[in-house]
């Protein structure tokens, strides 16, 4: 007999293996070796979270009660998958084009990024999913109990509630660990998906093993099984046509709208070709999952004592024949079904709750919101983690207080009917441009209300919310409002009744309100983009040309996407526009793209609201839409080749314009160069001449003459330094410099640079913050030259940082084969228009004499870094002045 303890050990081991798989897959993906993870097979297997514990255990129970009807739950998804060309292909395409994060996000984005709809769908999903999670907890604890009670020899029945709590806690941990690693929901949760694929295999193998055992081991072959079926209580197909049809429809609808299915179908999808393979492979999986359901059911009915729970036949039949190993496998199959469903559901729900409830509240509480300081990423991750915990807690509480017991299938269908209310808004949204926000909101709320009234609330039983009296006579005696016989339509199956009325009322109101309302411009734009997703991708834009600063956008993007991702995005965009650095033009196209990137992290509505705060609400107007339409019309007249050429031309023109602007400015600078150099040389010379004349006249007190000699001495040194710099620069520029590469540690180079600057500038007390661990990098380069660059940057910060308590952060990071050292101070920074010029010679931004240099420092730095194979750039959007030194990690080859 398998003891309870053995079972627990096996469970823990199994979970440990899953952790290992998830961890390894995450690591592989991070290392960029995820080729097979992106293949269609892992995708297909991940869809198997459709088969939860309800189907693993419950399908047999369902078959034992009502015969063949259980297959409807699989037929709906089969039809959806086989019909991928209609809906799924479009959904996946839209999901990727718009960077959709959840089903709530899809509905919200489609209807003008309306957060109201996001909230409605999120609430609906939470209400619809909580019982389902409770169901999974229940099935796991029941299967534990089976083993415990089979183990007769004085096992005390374990505390089911405690078991459920442990399972819920463990699942929360797993989900948080692997589900909230990345903020970007559009980045695959590689670890989770791979673990789920493994679980999919386990549950399929388990069910097939039990089935094969039953058919060939117990019954003796297919024909014997057919005979057993004919002899069983469910031999005659008591078909209820309306249930058959509506359950097929319901399962198809739920397959598309369940938050967890949307997560694996659309959000986790990385390649549209995956859908093509899954279109037949997933039906095959479902087929195999249901192939042996009927045999197991009839054998269970045949051999097990009267009154055995058919929902647990998958376990109790092998146990009856003393097949311990098989029972254990089957137990793991059920365990897999339950855990994979809960994990993905928790991820999907937490994304929705965080993006559509927490973030909007946070945004409205902090009005200045988006452009303020503070890490939004952290906030979003925390809110997701808390949501995961909250969702599982809700599921656990539902399990505790509903007391379990009811047939598993009942809760499953109720849950399906709840989330299916999203279907009209979803499908019309992607096929009908006239579908409007008002229609969707009214339809959803009405459908949800009807579902709750006719199906959900009555499911709590006579002691629940709806009393038997209301059930029989309607509220306040109004017969036409009886929950299970609305409008006097009697004799319908309660589930069919609820599906029928909720869908009819939902769809009816949806169309009615869509027809009479007039959508906002943004809504119309989104509608066109969703419905015509295959025709024009990205021709229309959601933002008008505005005067927004790229730097402000960068500041916000950094806080949501993280520093290096945001900088990479901005740099790439700037490069595409033919510009250097990190600040592209804030064209409507770029803002649109940025919004989509942000939407991948925080959802469409929130991303739009955040950008709106910065861009200043210059969103589209009807005129813009018309202009776009005209533009699109014109565009069609050109061939794509011409379009490409004109794009190329624009880029060249932009580059030329920029080069020209730089030249003009350079020529002004060249002009100023002479007068500058004259000034820089003559100023110290004046003091020297004046004081030497004074000294020549003689007759001074010794103290005075010492003082004046000192001044002459200092000014002579100043002159020398200036000449040194000039020579240095000219040598560097002419490339006649000799580099002395040597091995050193970055920390040591920085130490020297900091020491040099603090000893020279006595009055400049800038506080320097460093990170010794990250600075521990071995270098092979001309470290004296490198130190010279560092000294210059630190001295600049000390001189120009205008904060009350000046601070300088030296941050070191590695990216690919390059080392990045950022010098970020807390002053007011450098204005955007000056950022291009500061590396030019003699470009001192202020005339302050205290600067003490001739404005050659940064020009020298640039030349040095150029020689060392790296570069020094200004890094905008860091709060203060920030310079980034980039250095190749590869050893420097001596002699240039």
Residue 80 interacting with other proteins (CB under 8 A): yes
Q: Which two tokens stand for residue 855?
A: 């404005």
C-beta of 216 vs 237, nearer to other proteins: 237
Inter-residue long-range contacts of 356-360, CB under 8 Å, 24+ positions, other chains counted: 356/104, 356/105, 356/108, 356/115, 356/118, 356/119, 356/121, 356/122, 356/603, 356/605, 356/606, 357/119, 357/122, 358/383, 358/387, 359/383, 359/602, 359/603, 359/606, 360/115, 360/119, 360/605, 360/606, 360/609
How many whole angstroms separate alpha carbon 808 and alpha carbon 802?
12
Residue 767 interacting with other proteins (CB under 8 A): no
The interface region with other proteins, picked from 35-43, 507-515, 517-525, 740-748 by CB under 8 A, is: 35-43
Among 364, 834, 848, 896, interactor with other proteins by CB under 8 A:
848
Residue 71 interacting with other proteins (CB under 8 A): yes
Residue 719 interacting with other proteins (CB under 8 A): no
Residue 674 interacting with other proteins (CB under 8 A): yes
Q: Cα–Cα distances in Å, from 543 out to 153, 321, 433?
A: 72, 68, 20
The interface region with other proteins, picked from 276-284, 620-628, 771-779, 790-798 by CB under 8 A, is: 276-284
Alpha-carbon dihedral of residues 428, 429, 433, 438, nearest 10 degrees?
90
Task: Give the closest residue to 245 by CA, choosing from 83, 80, 71, 416.
Answer: 71
Among 9, 284, 622, 755, interactor with other proteins by CB under 8 A:
284
- At 767, which helix (H) or strand (E)? strand 767-769
C-beta of 9 vs 235, nearer to other proteins: 235
Beta carbon of residue 38, minimum distance to other proteins (angstroms, whole number): 8
Residue 208 interacting with other proteins (CB under 8 A): no
Tokens 């952790």 correspond to 19
Task: Give the closest residue to 280 by CA, choosing from 128, 538, 80, 420.
Answer: 80
Among 139, 279, 428, 757, interactor with other proteins by CB under 8 A:
279
For residue 583, give the 3-state DSSP assignment.
coil
C-beta of 256 vs 598, nearer to other proteins: 256
Residue 698 interacting with other proteins (CB under 8 A): no
Task: Give the closest residue to 300 by CA, choosing from 227, 219, 416.
Answer: 219
Residue 177 interacting with other proteins (CB under 8 A): no
Which residues from 51-70 bind other proteins, rule CB under 8 A? 67-68
Residue 847 interacting with other proteins (CB under 8 A): yes
Distance of alpha carbon 71 from the chain centroid: 35
Q: Which two tokens stand for residue 233?
A: 């209580």
Judge residue 752's burial from the number of C-beta atoms within 10 Å of its C-beta, 0-12 exposed, 13-18 middle, 19 or more buried.
middle
How many whole angstroms separate alpha carbon 611 and alpha carbon 567?
17
How many whole angstroms separate alpha carbon 857 and alpha carbon 757?
14
How many whole angstroms separate alpha carbon 629 and alpha carbon 539?
9
Alpha-carbon torsion (644, 649, 652, 658), positive or negative: negative
Residue 276 interacting with other proteins (CB under 8 A): yes
Residue 277 interacting with other proteins (CB under 8 A): yes
C-beta of 416 vs 691, nearer to other proteins: 691
> Beta strand 818-825 with 742-745: parallel, antiparallel or unpaired?
unpaired
How many whole angstroms separate alpha carbon 320 and alpha carbon 298?
14
C-beta of 59 vs 789, nearer to other proteins: 59
Beta carbon of residue 276, minimum distance to other proteins (angstroms, whole number): 4
Residue 717 interacting with other proteins (CB under 8 A): no
Compute how many residues bind other proteins; rule: CB under 8 A: 65
Among 308, 549, 683, 705, interactor with other proteins by CB under 8 A:
683
Residue 703 interacting with other proteins (CB under 8 A): no
Residue 721 interacting with other proteins (CB under 8 A): no
Alpha-carbon torsion (211, 216, 218, 224), positive or negative: positive
Among 21, 24, 79, 177, interactor with other proteins by CB under 8 A:
79
Residue 673 interacting with other proteins (CB under 8 A): no
How many whole angstroms separate alpha carbon 52 and alpha carbon 378?
32
Which residues from 429-448 bind other proteins, rule CB under 8 A? none
Residue 248 interacting with other proteins (CB under 8 A): yes
C-beta of 81 vs 409, nearer to other proteins: 81
C-beta of 245 vs 382, nearer to other proteins: 245
Residue 115 interacting with other proteins (CB under 8 A): no
Beta carbon of residue 852, minimum distance to other proteins (angstroms, whole number): 11
Q: Cα–Cα distances in Å, from 79 out to 42, 75, 252, 283, 300?
A: 21, 6, 7, 8, 30
Beta carbon of residue 531, minimum distance to other proteins (angstroms, whole number): 17
The interface region with other proteins, picked from 203-211, 231-239, 409-417, 472-480 by CB under 8 A, is: 231-239
Asked whether 210 and 326 are in contact (CB, 8 A), the reply is yes
Residue 212 interacting with other proteins (CB under 8 A): no
How many whole angstroms separate alpha carbon 143 and alpha carbon 163?
11
Beta carbon of residue 503, minimum distance to other proteins (angstroms, whole number): 17
How many whole angstroms separate alpha carbon 552 and alpha carbon 614?
7
Beta carbon of residue 89, minimum distance to other proteins (angstroms, whole number): 9
Beta carbon of residue 284, minimum distance to other proteins (angstroms, whole number): 5
How many whole angstroms separate alpha carbon 245 and alpha carbon 258?
20
Which residues from 290-319 bind other proteins, rule CB under 8 A? 291, 294
Asked whether 778 and 742 are in contact (CB, 8 A), the reply is no
Residue 280 interacting with other proteins (CB under 8 A): yes
Among 16, 235, 635, 656, interactor with other proteins by CB under 8 A:
235
Residue 78 interacting with other proteins (CB under 8 A): yes
How many whole angstroms separate alpha carbon 196 and alpha carbon 345?
12
C-beta of 149 vs 846, nearer to other proteins: 846
Which residues from 81-110 bind other proteins, rule CB under 8 A? 81-86
The interface region with other proteins, picked from 2-10, 20-28, 282-290, 653-661 by CB under 8 A, is: 282-290
Residue 688 interacting with other proteins (CB under 8 A): yes
Beta carbon of residue 305, minimum distance to other proteins (angstroms, whole number): 23
Alpha-carbon torsion (555, 560, 564, 567), positive or negative: negative
The interface region with other proteins, picked from 23-31, 156-164, 842-850, 865-873 by CB under 8 A, is: 842-850
Residue 709 interacting with other proteins (CB under 8 A): no
Among 161, 660, 678, 709, interactor with other proteins by CB under 8 A:
678
Between the two ends of the chain, the Cα-to-Cα distance in Å is 78
The interface region with other proteins, picked from 1-9, 242-250, 322-330, 743-751 by CB under 8 A, is: 242-250
Residue 668 interacting with other proteins (CB under 8 A): no
Q: Cα–Cα distances in Å, from 562 out to 137, 431, 523, 791?
A: 37, 36, 30, 29
Q: For binding to other proteins (CB under 8 A), which residues are involved? A: 35-36, 38-40, 67-68, 71, 75, 78-86, 226, 229-230, 232, 234-237, 239, 241, 244-245, 248, 271, 273, 276-277, 279-281, 283-284, 287, 291, 294, 674-675, 678-679, 682-683, 685-691, 693-694, 711, 714-715, 846-849
């Amino acid at each position: 007999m398998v003891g309870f303890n053995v079972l627990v050990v096996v469970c823990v081991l199994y979970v440990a293996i899953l952790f290992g798989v998830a961890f390894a897959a995450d690591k592989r993906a991070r290392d960029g070796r995820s080729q097979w993870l992106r293949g269609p097979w892992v995708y297909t297997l991940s869809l198997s979270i459709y088969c939860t514990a309800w189907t693993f255990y419950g399908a047999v129970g369902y078959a034992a009660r009502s015969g063949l009807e259980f297959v409807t739950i699989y037929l709906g998804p089969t039809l959806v998958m086989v019909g991928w060309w209609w809906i799924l292909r479009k959904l996946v395409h839209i999901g990727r084009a718009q960077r959709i994060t959840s089903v709530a996000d899809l509905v919200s984005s489609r209807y003008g990024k309306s957060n109201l709809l996001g909230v409605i769908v999120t609430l609906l999903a939470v209400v619809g999913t909580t019982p389902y999670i409770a169901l999974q907890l229940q099935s796991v604890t029941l299967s534990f109990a089976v083993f415990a009670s089979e183990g007769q020899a004085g096992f005390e029945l374990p505390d089911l509630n405690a078991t459920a709590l442990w399972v819920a806690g463990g699942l929360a941990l797993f989900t948080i660990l692997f589900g909230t690693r990345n903020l970007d929901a559009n980045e695959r949760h590689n670890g989770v998906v791979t673990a789920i694929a493994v679980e999919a295999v386990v549950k399929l193998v388990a069910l097939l093993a039990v089935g094969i055992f039953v058919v060939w081991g117990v019954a003796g072959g297919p024909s014997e099984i057919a005979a057993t079926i004919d002899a069983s209580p469910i031999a005659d197909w008591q078909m209820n046509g309306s249930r058959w049809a509506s359950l097929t429809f319901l399962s198809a609808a739920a397959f598309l709208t369940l938050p967890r299915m949307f997560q694996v179908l659309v959000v986790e999808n990385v390649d549209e070709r995956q859908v093509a393979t899954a279109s037949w492979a997933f039906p095959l999986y479902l087929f195999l999952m249901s192939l042996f359901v009927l045999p197991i059911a009839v054998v269970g009915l045949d051999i097990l004592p009267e009154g055995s729970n058919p929902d647990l036949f998958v376990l109790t039949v092998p146990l009856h024949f003393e097949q311990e190993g098989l029972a254990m496998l089957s137990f793991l199959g059920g365990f897999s079904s339950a855990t994979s469903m809960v994990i993905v559901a928790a991820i999907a729900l937490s994304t929705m709750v965080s993006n559509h409830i927490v973030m909007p509240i946070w945004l409205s509480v902090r009005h200045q919101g988006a452009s303020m300081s503070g890490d939004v990423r952290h906030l979003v991750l925390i809110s997701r983690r808390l949501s995961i915990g909250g969702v599982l807690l809700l599921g656990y509480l539902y399990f505790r207080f509903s007391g379990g017991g009811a047939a598993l299938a009942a809760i499953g269908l109720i849950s399906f009917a709840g989330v299916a209310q999203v279907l009209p808004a979803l499908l019309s949204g992607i096929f009908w441009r006239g579908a409007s926000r008002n229609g969707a909101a009214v339809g959803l709320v009405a459908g949800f209300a009807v579902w709750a009234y006719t199906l959900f609330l009555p499911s709590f039983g006579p002691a629940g919310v709806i009393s038997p009296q209301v059930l029989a006579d309607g509220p306040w005696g109004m017969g036409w409002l009886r929950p299970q016989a609305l409008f006097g339509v009697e004799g319908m199956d309660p589930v069919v009744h609820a599906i029928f009325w909720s869908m009819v009322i939902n769809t009816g109101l949806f169309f009615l309100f869509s027809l009479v309302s007039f959508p906002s411009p943004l809504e119309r734009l989104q509608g066109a983009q969703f419905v015509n997703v295959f025709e024009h991708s990205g021709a229309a834009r959601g933002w008008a040309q505005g005067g927004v600063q790229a730097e402000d956008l960068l500041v916000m993007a950094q806080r949501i996407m993280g520093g290096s991702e945001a900088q990479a995005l901005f740099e790439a965009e700037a490069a595409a526009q033919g510009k250097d650095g990190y600040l592209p033009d804030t064209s409507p196209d770029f803002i649109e793209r940025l919004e989509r990137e942000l939407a991948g992290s925080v959802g469409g509505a929130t991303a739009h609201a955040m950008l709106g705060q910065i861009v200043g609400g210059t969103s589209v107007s009807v005129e813009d839409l018309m202009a776009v339409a005209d533009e699109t019309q014109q565009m069609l007249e050109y061939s794509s080749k011409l379009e490409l050429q004109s794009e190329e031309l624009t880029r060249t023109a932009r580059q030329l314009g920029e080069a020209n602007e730089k030249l003009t400015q350079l020529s002004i600078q060249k002009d100023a160069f002479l007068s500058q150099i004259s000034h820089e040389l003559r100023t110290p010379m004046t003091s020297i001449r004046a004081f030497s004349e004074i000294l020549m006249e003689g007759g001074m007190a010794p103290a005075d003459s010492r003082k004046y000699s000192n001044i002459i001495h200092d000014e002579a040194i100043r002159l020398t330094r200036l000449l040194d710099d000039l020579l240095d620069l000219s040598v560097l520029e002419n490339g006649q410099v000799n580099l002395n590469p040597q091995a050193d540690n970055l920390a040591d180079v920085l130490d020297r640079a900091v020491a040099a600057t603090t000893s020279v500038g006595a009055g400049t007390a800038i506080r320097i913050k460093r990170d010794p661990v990250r600075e521990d990098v071995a270098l092979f380069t001309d470290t004296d030259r490198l130190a010279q660059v560092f000294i210059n940057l630190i001295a600049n910060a000390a001189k120009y940082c205008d904060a009350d308590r000046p601070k300088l952060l030296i941050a070191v990071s590695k990216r690919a084969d390059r080392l990045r050292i950022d010098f970020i101070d807390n002053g007011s920074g450098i204005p955007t228009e000056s950022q291009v010029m500061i590396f030019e010679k003699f470009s001192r931004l202020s005339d302050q004499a205290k600067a003490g240099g001739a404005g050659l420092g940064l020009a020298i730095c640039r030349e040095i870094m150029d020689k060392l194979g790296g570069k020094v750039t200004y890094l905008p959007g860091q709060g203060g002045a920030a310079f980034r030194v980039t250095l190749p990690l590869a050893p420097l080859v001596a002699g240039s």
